[in-house]
Amino acid sequence: MSDKKLWAGRFSEPTDAFVEAFTASVEFDQRLAPQDIRGSIAHATMLARQGILSAAERDAIVEGLEQILARIEAGQFAWSVAREDVHMNIEAALTEAIGEAGKKLHTGRSRNDQVATDIRLWLREEIAALRAELSRLRGNLLDLAEREAETILPGFTHLQTAQPITFGHHLMAWFEMLERDDGRLADCARRAKRCPLGAAALAGTTFPIDREYTAELLGFDGPCRNSLDAVSDRDFAIEFAAAASLLMMHLSRMSEELIVWSSAQFGFVTLSDAFCTGSSIMPQKKNPDVPELIRGKSGRVFGHLMALLTLMKSQPLAYNKDNQEDKEPLFDIADNLRGSLKVFADMIPAITPNRERMRAAALQGFATATDLADYLVRRGLPFRDAHEVVGKAVAHCVQAGCDLAELSLDTLREFSPLIEQDVFEVLTLEGSVAARDHVGGTAPAQVRRAIAEARQRLAGEST
């Protein structure tokens, strides 16, 4: 197999061996081989339709590329660093296999528009796979939320007990975060559906190509509208990194809550042994390694976003070699995001809520204090005055070591004569939760309504 450079005509000296290895990308961009071959088949098909290639040349190219893909998938293709990248490796192998026709494949295109097309094709497929995992995770969240629609859980602000909510309501907050993430991924995929092929190196080509036809063959919405932008644009990669960072941030927040909740100090949930590990020295330990690792991987993805932004920030138009550095962070983001989504989707059904511990925690910290203030407001007391009354009642309870619901009616009336026997209906956890019966509220009826509506939206995404 000859390793002669396909662009060597201009050069009188061979490339330095270290420079050759330093500038090569084939070790990581060979991952784009299926997309590269798919794009080449579409390009050859278009060239033949336009009379630039003969039908026989097209058929030889297509058959040769399909055979190369089969060798790659079987692990029988010999990648060469001397051939620099996935594109040159495949083109050289094609020429060796079919002769002169292989040399004609690159007519009317450049590696600049070729790689931009490959990455867009790859990213579209990757986003589809990620959204499938995200859909599975969201479906599992809905199942768990439905089972726990009435389970009382303390809601927190500043990690201090604030008001009682339901566990189902909390899980639906997670769902809302992930639904926005899915929308961002869908938007990113939509903006990546423009085809760079035909932009060539930067200015287009003198051959009578049909860019609309090539775009159609590859499932794009149409060609990129400007040749300079087509080869130099990496917005879609940065946008994906940004959407992935937001998604990983959400998974990290969810992981943090699972880590805290599964601790002995909280004991709200028990994670399945399948998603935990032990300690090499402390036999009692059950460590929530999966959510901890997802929490850690968020930083890795954030770093890649910054790397891609920095990569592009000072580049003049059009293509520059800097852009070779876009693929490794992009691949790593996708791999880690897909793994995190998969393991999270698997972990959710294996969570066991400890309902008694949740309820006991909700009884601490005066979670129904706001309900008492609202009660007084409904009886005519201005909210700020009601706030002060309840604050004094809470201070009394702190001194007495009891909860508001444990005070007698006579004691409560010492703080306000507006309080009557029916106050105890709002001081119960169930009463507090049920009273928030409006869209977005934590009342079990509203949680179930939100779940039903979410199921409809989720089903609509897959149709």
Catalytic positions: 158, 279
CA distance 238 to 188: 10
Token code pair at residue 330: 């992009």
* Alpha helix segments (H runs only) across 167-262: 167-191, 211-217, 227-232, 235-261
Longest dimension (CA), the chain: 101
What three-state secondary structure class fits 269? Answer: strand
Q: In 208-361, which ranges are E strands? A: 222-223, 269-270, 352-353
Which residue is associated with the tokens 């497929």? 125
Distance, CA of 6 to CA of 210 (rounded, Å): 26
Strands 152-157 and 160-166: antiparallel
Helices 235-261, 289-312: axis angle to 10 degrees equals 160
Q: Which of 420, 409, 425 is nearest to 368 (CA)?
A: 425
- Return d(Cα 232, Cα 314) in angstroms, integer: 12
**Count of CA atoms in the C-beta half-sphere (13 A) of 313:** 6
Amino acid at 126: E
Question: And the tokens for 327?
Answer: 């693929």
- Relative orientation angle of helices 86-98 and 33-49, to the nearest 10 degrees: 60
**Among residues 200, 176, 192, which one has the least CA distance to residue 330?**
192
